[in-house]
Chain A
């Protein structure tokens, strides 16, 4: 069963007098253990689609389901809970907090949840991405590839169903990008998550199980 499903999702932006259609009747699904890449030229609506999947943005029309639950009419607070428990994010420019150590950055999504101690899982995840000896380093003491690996560990801390990656290799050189994609591929099966990435990086496409192309807000079959 698909963990995330988009049915006829439409997203329009009103900007002044004109209406911009970012997504039009988009159908999409992703399954656990699957790595899906969304590609397309800039302005095609990739980021909007990723924001809708990541519950950061709500569609103007259509339905979003997570685990067969309709979440497209959730309140902001409910969406926050859903993101916290079910979705991990990896960003192009890492977005680690500079004043926190690697292990604290990994713990960040669960930091306010004082009922569970995620320290052990954070340490374990950092070991698994090869940063077992960098636990107390701050982001400025880490290389770009190391930062993105911390970000991947952070995305996985809450044992999510979906990991969303927005140009995860965009700021990395080719070799480093390859190791990051190896990590993501490995976690896709190890943690049984659906990884949805947005890219125009050819390299990433090679790693994907499935590629969805988006042009002018419409999915190309």
Chain B
């Protein structure tokens, strides 16, 4: 069976296809308009997604953290064991890392450096080791910022002194990106800061920014009822929310610019379809005269418009996919991230928008052709 035989089952499709083939240049130009529109919409959408993806990666390690410190109305200077226990009871699904901090100067043969000393147990929750390890339970030894270690010429296994006690360096930690000071930090077991009665801060590591925000709300309700602020609870999640909301606005603006070009393209289709139906007025009159129904004429012309939309949309989506691969390779260093739904959806949106816009543009010419009285149309 030849393809044209198969098409006779779908006469509107057959007729639409043949009609589009009659003026290939015009059809190609109308399709090109749609391709450009889809590329504009999808590429800008994907660009937005790439920026958002990168921003989230950069901020991700900070925004899921909640920091609890002593509040304005607290009787004690610090967070008490009792309060830590209450927080741990309240938040069973997050890692609660109480820490004591101090500052000191550590010395080596190569010089000396001013460092923040942090006493905590769950080192792995907050630090990534670039060399050695950041253990789950830090009972002995110490972690040192990699930069400080370099400066002082210290290596894994070398001793560091704090308050008269020696700690062997078990891991070198990387400064965190984003807002964290990073910099010079010495991490030791809490026992090294035992002379401080209370914790200076508690860091809570949540699953993500959203969970962090929820934790903030729960802690506020638990500890800071009314006017009294027993604990001060802060998180970067709200910062991420602001950034997200900004990026969403940016994305919408980009999509808006993109859709203008698709609107322009659909006006071009409207024009092309209108011209072609006016040119074919007599021919459509013949179709009506020999008994082709109004609905069938309508379907035929809508199918023509839909063809332009489907072909233009598909080509446009393919080109945009290429653009997306290049974009993600440049921004995130991984071209294949483009197939994730957060960015791939713009390909689908662009395609769907193209088909819908084309069919909408075909509606008026199709309606006009279908409702033309055959006796008038035959006169040409």
> Would A99 and B11 be within 8 Å (CB), given that A84-B290, A112-B296 are in contact?
no
> Would A56 and B289 be within 8 Å (CB), given that A51-B375, A111-B11, A114-B11 are in contact?
yes
Report the minimal beta-carbon distance from A65 to chain B, rounded to whole angstroms: 19
Decide: A112 and B293 in contact? CB cutoff 8 A.
yes
B165 at the binding interface (Cβ < 8 Å): no
Report the count of interface residues on A (CB-CB < 8 A).
29
Q: Give the distance in Å from the alpha carbon of A89 to the alpha carbon of B282 in the complex.
A: 14
Q: Give the distance in Å from the alpha carbon of A100 to the alpha carbon of B375 in the complex.
A: 23
For A24-64 the 0/1 string (1 means CB < 8 A from B) is 00000000000000000000000000010010110000000
Contact of B291 among A76, A107, A114, A158 (CB under 8 A): A158
For A75-113 the 0/1 string (1 means CB < 8 A from B) is 011001101110111010001011110000001110110
A147 at the binding interface (Cβ < 8 Å): no
B292 at the binding interface (Cβ < 8 Å): yes
> Would A83 and B21 be within 8 Å (CB), given that A95-B282, A95-B286, A114-B9 are in contact?
no
B288 at the binding interface (Cβ < 8 Å): yes
Contacts of A149 in B (CB 8 A): none
Q: Give the distance in Å from the alpha carbon of A97 to the alpha carbon of B284 in the complex.
A: 10
Contacts of B18 in A (CB 8 A): 99-100
Report the minimal beta-carbon distance from B300 to chain A, rounded to whole angstroms: 9
Contacts of A158 in B (CB 8 A): 291
List residues 17-75 of chain B with CB under 8 A from any CB of chain A: 18-19, 21-22
Q: Give the distance in Å from the alpha carbon of A56 to the alpha carbon of B375 in the complex.
A: 6
Report the minimal beta-carbon distance from B282 to chain A, rounded to whole angstroms: 7
Q: Which residue of A lies closest to B5 (CB)?
A: A119
Q: Which residue of A lies closest to B9 (CB)?
A: A114
Which one of B9, B19, B289 has the highest number of Cβ atoms from chain A below 10 Å of its Cβ? B289
Decide: B375 and A57 in contact? CB cutoff 8 A.
yes
B348 at the binding interface (Cβ < 8 Å): no
B189 at the binding interface (Cβ < 8 Å): no
Contacts of B14 in A (CB 8 A): 111
B287 at the binding interface (Cβ < 8 Å): yes
For B1-22 the 0/1 string (1 means CB < 8 A from A) is 0000000110110110011011
Q: Give the distance in Å from the alpha carbon of A109 to the alpha carbon of B288 in the complex.
A: 9
Decide: A77 and B293 in contact? CB cutoff 8 A.
yes
Contact of B294 among A76, A83, A95, A107 (CB under 8 A): A76
Contacts of B22 in A (CB 8 A): 98-99
Decide: A80 and B287 in contact? CB cutoff 8 A.
no
Decide: A97 and B283 in contact? CB cutoff 8 A.
yes
Decide: A83 and B296 in contact? CB cutoff 8 A.
no
Which one of B19, B291, B293, B296 has the highest number of Cβ atoms from chain A below 10 Å of its Cβ? B291
B312 at the binding interface (Cβ < 8 Å): no
Decide: A112 and B292 in contact? CB cutoff 8 A.
yes
Decide: B294 and A89 in contact? CB cutoff 8 A.
no
Contacts of A83 in B (CB 8 A): 289-291
In the A-B complex, the 7 residue pairs with the smallest Cβ-Cβ separation, listed nearest first, are: A84-B291, A99-B18, A109-B290, A83-B291, A56-B375, A95-B286, A111-B11
- By a beta-carbon cutoff of 8 Å, the part of chain B in contact with chain A is 8-9, 11-12, 14-15, 18-19, 21-22, 282-283, 286-294, 296, 374-375, 378
Extra A-B contacts (9), CB below 8 Å, given A80-B291, A80-B293:
A56-B374, A80-B292, A84-B290, A84-B292, A88-B290, A89-B286, A89-B289, A95-B286, A112-B296
- By a beta-carbon cutoff of 8 Å, the part of chain A in contact with chain B is 51, 54, 56-57, 76-77, 80-81, 83-85, 87-89, 91, 95, 97-100, 107-109, 111-112, 114, 119, 154, 158
